Structure 1
Amino acid sequence: MSTPPNTQTEQLMDAMLARLQADFSDQLMIERFPENPQQYRLNHARGAVLLAYGKSTFGHTQSTDAIVQARHLVLRLTLIFRQLNGQDGVVSYLDRLRATLTGWRPPHTDQACHPIGEQFIGHTNGLWQYAQDYATRATQLQTITDENGPLLKSTDFQEHP
């Protein structure tokens, strides 16, 4: 039995993670948000960027015979740093991350990423924590099963040249 392909959300997160790792892996730890955040330990000398799926909201259906909706996605970066200011501080990296992701168009989306919010989370045990939220838009399609016609059993979110 073959492994099913990653979902649209998983593919989007994989692409954003790869983008961040390409630009920052020599400077920071870049990884998915941990399954158990209470046990997370920052092992990097400077800081870490943790990627998580935030939420989706959906537009009105655009068709009468099948569901086709705009899907507005939010992905959250949590920054955990040892320093607040200066070249190695979290404030500097908020700007650098924003410059990297603003205007970047992930695969399987019809809108480039844009920042929608940043906020200070807190300072605990010498670590500064901030969050950045980025939005993009994709399309949500109904999987159609019609006994009188061809079946759409799954959607393929691979880009074709």
Structure 2
Amino acid sequence: MATLQIIEAVVDRLKRQIQTLAVENFPDKPSEYRLNHPNGALLVSYAGSHFGEIEGVGTVVQRQTITLSITVVMRLPNGSEGAVDVLDKVRAALIGFKPPDCHRKMWALNERFLDESAGIWQYALDMNTESILIEVVEDEPGALLTNLTMQDEYGRNEIRKMSDGTIIKEEFSL
């Protein structure tokens, strides 16, 4: 699972669903961000993850709850196309959306007022989705299986791998 792919899928979804606003990844330098779009912008960022208990036996398997934050940056707080109206539209676009590599659809976690400065209003909507985190298993050195014997009521089968790589199969009737 790649977190960046999930973020990009959410950005793409918002671009398709809400075409009247700029939709971008959250800026690297938020203090230098300037709203250039005449209506407003949606900024998508990774807010973090929570990990569940280990579910696998012998292999690490965990549930990963991923939180994305969508910052709504608007010139108006209320009215049609104001920040509150846009929050409703963002929720409608993302609730029930299933990003790649996730096994649960997105759901709303919380939303809050962030700031107003020079007539620019900012709210944040946090959304969750869930994926499964599985360890990358590396080959472990150890003894390799070279001889396999299978037996049932009809006979016995043996499969052997020789040191030169050849495989010998033998069947014995009972």
Q: TM-score range by the shorter chain?
A: 0.7 to 0.9
Residue 40 of structure 1 corresponds to: 33
**AA partner of residue 123 (structure 1):** E
Residue 89 of structure 1 corresponds to: 82
Pairwise CA RMSD: 1.1
Secondary structure of 2:96's counterpart equals coil
Confirm or deny that 1:18 pairs with 2:20. no
Structure 1 moving runs of 4+ over 2 Å: 146-149
Secondary structure of 2:8's counterpart equals helix
Residue 54 of structure 2 corresponds to: 61
Please, which runs of 5 or more residues in structure 2 have no aligned partner?
143-174
**AA partner of residue 21 (structure 1):** K
Q: Are the aligned partners of 2:18 and 2:89 in contact in 1 as well (CA < 8 Å)?
A: no
- In terms of Rg, which structure is larger? 2
Residue 134 of structure 1 corresponds to: 127
Supply the distance in 1 between the matched residues of 2:81 and 2:66 (Cα, whole angstroms): 30
Q: CA deviation at 1:148?
A: 4.1
Pick from 107, 110, 119 the counterpart of residue 117 of structure 1.
110
**AA partner of residue 71 (structure 1):** Q
Tell me the alpha carbon deviations over residues 34-84 of structure 1, each in whole angstroms, 9 at most, x when there is no partner: 000111000011100000001101000111201000000000000110001
Q: Are the aligned partners of 2:75 and 2:121 in contact in 1 as well (CA < 8 Å)?
A: yes
Confirm or deny that 1:106 pairs with 2:93. no
Q: Are the aligned partners of 2:76 and 2:82 in contact in 1 as well (CA < 8 Å)?
A: yes
What TM-score does the superposition give when structure 1 sets the normalisation length? 0.85
Supply the distance in 1 between the matched residues of 2:48 and 2:29 (Cα, whole angstroms): 19
Secondary structure of 1:105's counterpart equals coil
Q: How many residues align?
A: 142
Q: Name the % identity.
A: 36
What TM-score does the superposition give when structure 2 sets the normalisation length? 0.79
Greater fraction of residues in strand:
2
Residue 153 of structure 1 corresponds to: none
